[in-house]
A and B are shown apart, each in its own frame.
Chain A
């Protein structure tokens, strides 16, 4: 599904990623773990087109998507969420999800300004679909609240709903459990499984080991920009190099 080949990313003198390769299989949940500064977010930024890679390539399905800008990748079905939630704070919760439906609608600037009949029909559809998505992630009552006023946990759910609006083939989530309490984390785990069941391939960066070991099919371990290990949760738990990296011996 997603094949990352020898991705290298250099910031000035700092090698944030050093020839990292892995494959995320269709229909699986692939975890990416590693200590702080390992390069996980950088990897996501490259996969989602926000940063440019220094070398390497990314193949999605049978399409070479290396170097495409984020809006193109989104239309190919590659969508992500952010480590520091990036909600549209001036908008309501519902409107945030409606922005996620942007690519699912086509009315141009003129049609919108003139409120042409098909634009109004489309708008209605967008609105009802957005409500369905809020329902799906479990926050239907918050539709009319300001997105800026949401507590952290619900903000995360909103971000996921907004990303799902694009009907992605691959959803990348950067530390979705950060800042959640244990009940919220458990609910998040259930949601991630449900998303996978609905046919979405998931790439998950997460520090919460319980969650990662619980939901992931395969795990990639990064350390200091290099791939340290790869395997099933079981294999990773028993891997000495990984344990050493986490204990800080490198």
Chain B
């Protein structure tokens, strides 16, 4: 656990110093979105990397959070924090309820079912024009406020959102190093063996599915209050796939891997702007190269590299003569 604290402190330090490195402006805005995507990736990784259950509908929970908060505050004048909690609770109940039938499915069938759920929610965002504003979007969502301060600048939003991210990362780290985390990994490796040892696999899968949905939902609420305008396009199928890519690139079953994956896939398109029209080609090339040469994800790849370097270093790492 000491090592875990060290890693977390290092990560928190990097996060806190990041705004100084980009000295405001456009990149700071991007870092806010890195935070939101980190939340989403960590949430998905709990489900996919630890319990081994796929979800192609994460964008739907994200969208439900955004629209829940957006509609309740912009159209009904709710307090944003109250709206956030209400949305999270509702999505929690919803995910728990659909989790039981959906998570009975395995593999491709589970992928299809969650995909279907995502598409249905996407259609609802588009078609219920009276409530959601339809394809043209929902404007006029207020910023969050706390203790008389309004989170209306990138810097303020940066600290707000990253405070949430660091909290969620810490909770996730605690969880995966506990009996629940072990039971999840056991289900991933051999569900039958886990059940024979008394692990209630069905309930646990639904619980972690619910957690990951609620995390996505909170990310959605934060997103809505940051950008103040939302439209269905942000919550479509392609975004679920993007999240999946973040988690896989960072490394399944590694919380910091998801942090890295989210950061990379959010920053990369910005960096690749210099390639102008060719950015999509470079992006695709990187993806293919990654999955071909580092199938365990960046974090595992980095670990391998480190252990190789240690080996080469003379006079250290004693066990290799």
Within 8 Å CB of B178, what residues of A?
Answer: 107, 112-113, 115, 119, 123
Q: Which residue among A50, A100, A123 has the maximum number of chain B CB atoms within 10 Å of its CB?
A: A100
Query: Are A86 and B180 neighbours in the complex by a CB distance under 8 Å?
Result: no
Instruction: Check B270 for interface membership: any CB of A closer than 8 A.
Output: no
Within 8 Å CB of A109, what residues of B?
Answer: 175, 180, 207-208, 211
Within 8 Å CB of A163, what residues of B?
Answer: 197
Bound: A162/B207 CA distance, A? 25
Bound: A165/B181 CA distance, A? 18
Query: Are A114 and B190 neighbours in the complex by a CB distance under 8 Å?
Result: no
Query: Are A102 and B198 neighbours in the complex by a CB distance under 8 Å?
Result: yes
Query: Are B179 and A107 neighbours in the complex by a CB distance under 8 Å?
Result: yes
In the complex with contacts A95-B182, A113-B171, A71-B189 CB distance below 8 A: no
Query: Are B190 and A86 neighbours in the complex by a CB distance under 8 Å?
Result: yes
Within 8 Å CB of A165, what residues of B?
Answer: 197
Stretch at the interface among A74-82, A185-193, A196-204: A74-82
Query: Are B185 and A103 neighbours in the complex by a CB distance under 8 Å?
Result: no
Partner of B198, one of A75, A122, A126: A75
Partner of A103, one of B172, B182, B197: B197
B204-237 near A? 1/0 per residue, CB < 8 Å: 0001100100000000000000000000000000
Instruction: Check B195 for interface membership: any CB of A closer than 8 A.
Output: yes
Chain A residue nearest in CB terms to B194: A99
Instruction: Check A235 for interface membership: any CB of B closer than 8 A.
Output: no
Query: Are A103 and B196 neighbours in the complex by a CB distance under 8 Å?
Result: no
Query: Are B171 and A114 neighbours in the complex by a CB distance under 8 Å?
Result: yes
Within 8 Å CB of B71, what residues of A?
Answer: none
Bound: A105/B182 CA distance, A? 12
Bound: A124/B166 CA distance, A? 26
In the complex with contacts A99-B182, A112-B180, A115-B174, A90-B253 CB distance below 8 A: yes
Partner of B188, one of A75, A90, A105: A90
Query: Are A99 and B171 neighbours in the complex by a CB distance under 8 Å?
Result: no
Query: Are B186 and A50 neighbours in the complex by a CB distance under 8 Å?
Result: no
Q: Which residue among B172, B182, B193 has the maximum number of chain A CB atoms within 10 Å of its CB?
A: B193
- Minimal beta-carbon separation of A75 from chain B (angstroms): 5
Bound: A87/B182 CA distance, A? 13
Bound: A88/B253 CA distance, A? 14
Query: Are A70 and B196 neighbours in the complex by a CB distance under 8 Å?
Result: yes
Chain A residue nearest in CB terms to B199: A102
Instruction: Check B192 for interface membership: any CB of A closer than 8 A.
Output: yes
Instruction: Check A89 for interface membership: any CB of B closer than 8 A.
Output: yes
Query: Are A79 and B196 neighbours in the complex by a CB distance under 8 Å?
Result: yes
Bound: A73/B125 CA distance, A? 45
Q: How large is the interface on B (under 10, 10 to 19, 20 to 34, 35 or more residues)?
A: 20 to 34
Within 8 Å CB of A79, what residues of B?
Answer: 196-197
Q: Which residue among B172, B183, B186, B197 has the maximum number of chain A CB atoms within 10 Å of its CB?
A: B197
A33-71 near B? 1/0 per residue, CB < 8 Å: 000000000000000101000000000000000000111
Bound: A80/B178 CA distance, A? 24
Instruction: Check A98 for interface membership: any CB of B closer than 8 A.
Output: yes
In the complex with contacts A113-B171, A114-B174, A91-B195 CB distance below 8 A: no
Instruction: Check B150 for interface membership: any CB of A closer than 8 A.
Output: no
Instruction: Check B200 for interface membership: any CB of A closer than 8 A.
Output: yes
- Minimal beta-carbon separation of B174 from chain A (angstroms): 5
Partner of A86, one of B175, B192, B201: B192
In the complex with contacts A102-B199, A109-B211, A113-B174, A91-B182 CB distance below 8 A: yes
Instruction: Check A166 for interface membership: any CB of B closer than 8 A.
Output: yes
In the complex with contacts A71-B200, A109-B207, A123-B195 CB distance below 8 A: no
- Minimal beta-carbon separation of A71 from chain B (angstroms): 5
Chain B residue nearest in CB terms to A79: B196
Within 8 Å CB of B207, what residues of A?
Answer: 109
Partner of A90, one of B171, B183, B189, B201: B189
Q: Which residues of B come within 8 Å of A, CB atoms?
A: 171-172, 174-175, 178-183, 185-186, 188-190, 192-201, 207-208, 211, 253
Can you spell out 12 A-B residue pairs with CB atoms less than 8 angstroms apart?
A: A70-B196, A71-B195, A82-B193, A86-B193, A88-B194, A91-B189, A99-B183, A102-B186, A103-B197, A108-B180, A112-B175, A114-B171
Q: Which 10 pairs, one residue from A and one from B, show the smallest C-beta to C-beta distance? A: A74-B198, A112-B178, A103-B198, A86-B193, A88-B189, A70-B195, A113-B171, A113-B175, A99-B186, A86-B190
Question: Known contacts A70-B195, A102-B198, A107-B180; can you find 10 more A-B pairs with CB under 8 A?
Answer: A71-B196, A88-B194, A90-B188, A90-B189, A102-B183, A109-B175, A113-B174, A113-B178, A114-B174, A165-B197
